[in-house]
Amino acid sequence: MIQLAENVSLRNLNTFGIEALARYYYFCTDPEQIPEIIAEWSQEEPLLIMGGGSNLLFTRNYEGLVLRIGFSGIKIVHNNKDYVIVEVAAGENWDDFVAWTVERNLGGVENLSLIPGTAGASPVQNIGAYGSEAANCIESVSFYSIGEKTTKTLPAQDCGFGYRTSIFKHKLAGDAVILSVRFRLSLRPVLNIEYKGLKEELQKYPEPGIRAVREAVIAIRRRKLPDPAQVGNAGSFFKNPVIAREDFTALKLTFPDIPSFPAGDGFVKLPAAWLIEKCGWKGYRKGDAGVHPHQPLVLVNYGKATGTEIYELAGAIQTSVYQTFGIKLEPEVRII
């Protein structure tokens, strides 16, 4: 019999630092317990699987069960002369895992240094930064299927990975409790340093290698992004919009300085930060809800903002970006 806690404050469990109560709460430190918890849980009430709470915005109390994944561990399950396959338990802290790989000179995830959250959440939105994404190294994802009451493993090619998306955000949302993720890491790391600013930062490090890449990425991130321990936030609040090249050509007539990045055949990606800044939101603050003064894609809680205040601010930004550019910004953060 699993003992659920009741009316638990989630304030310290989400990086926005938003106060919300979980009607029921369980911190799971053993993956073997997952089937039992799910079986005991009435399926009529909602269930939220939670890792580090770094991509969530609570706008009200959660009237169901918050199941926080707390089992950790990293093990090498296969190796040969070129690569190793490493299995990481879902509750493992993501950046501790990255540090572990870099200490062993295993290449592949170093550009994803310092992203908050758990390894189990990394396939959910296919975390990405500095020219790399988790999907580049993921071999497979193991999960407990609530509907089928069994553990399954999906190879990476069946995970539907794309920019900030995967099958776990769509078809398997609400069904898959991710238990572990396998990564293929190179014994002969090839550096990926083409992202704007990374090469320049690397010049400060005498010895090129994945350790230097990790340190450079950490240095850039510390300069650009607010630390959730100091000011509440969930990283980029919106995704960077991807639009058809012909729409971009039309926009460029009105906004000749609009930046863009290639996004596959016939599409371009626009920096949402630029669109938001252009609409005058950078540094905006109302009460304790605000738009970060250095990175306008990041919405912040300066202290006692409510989830609703952040949500309303996000809505106002979406409206003004739409009115100015005809572009709909989609949230990256999951709104509860």
Q: Which of the ranges 205-213, 247-255, 266-274, 315-323 carries the binding residues for ligand EPU, by CB under 6 A? A: 266-274
245 catalytic? Reply is no
Phi then psi dihedrals of residue 190, to 5 deg: -110, 125
Which of 197, 123, 203, 205 has the alpha carbon at shortest distance from 167?
123
Which partner in ligand EPU, ligand FAD, none is near 295 (CB below 5 to 8 A by kind)? ligand EPU
CA distance 118 to 97: 9
215 catalytic? Reply is no
Question: Least Å distance between CB 162 and ligand EPU?
Answer: 12
CA distance 27 to 170: 25
The site string for ligand FAD over 3-22 (x = CB under 6 A, - otherwise) reads ------------x-------
The one-character DSSP state at 88 is E
Query: Which residue, chain included where needed, has tokens 């926009």?
Result: 251
- Residues 179, 118 contacting (CB under 8 angstroms): no
- Residues 75, 94 contacting (CB under 8 angstroms): no
102 binds ligand EPU (CB under 6 A): no
223 catalytic? Reply is no
Cα distances (angstroms) measured from residue 298 to each of 235, 273, 320: 5, 8, 16
Residue 90 CB partners (closer than 8 Å, separation 6+): 31, 51, 69, 71, 118, 119, 120, 121, 178, 179, 180, 181
The SS3 of residue 211 is helix
Q: Which of 113, 166, 180, 236 is catalytic?
A: 236
Which partner in ligand FAD, ligand EPU, none is near 321 (CB below 5 to 8 A by kind)? none
Which partner in ligand FAD, ligand EPU, none is near 88 (CB below 5 to 8 A by kind)? none
Question: Least Å distance between CB 251 and ligand FAD?
Answer: 26
Q: Which of 68, 164, 182, 184 is catalytic?
A: 164
Nearer to ligand EPU, 47 or 263 (CB): 263
Residue 109 has a CB neighbour count (10 Å cut-off) of: 30
Nearer to ligand FAD, 52 or 160 (CB): 52
CA dihedral over 302, 306, 307, 312, signed as positive or negative? negative
Of 66, 181, 225, 310, the residue at the interface with ligand FAD (CB under 6 A) is 225
The site string for ligand EPU over 208-237 (x = CB under 6 A, - otherwise) reads ----------------x----------xx-
156 binds ligand FAD (CB under 6 A): no
Question: Least Å distance between CB 287 and ligand EPU?
Answer: 22
**Interface residues toward ligand EPU, by CB under 6 A:** 129-130, 224, 235-236, 239-240, 259, 271, 273-274, 277, 282, 295-297, 332
Active site residues: 164, 236, 332
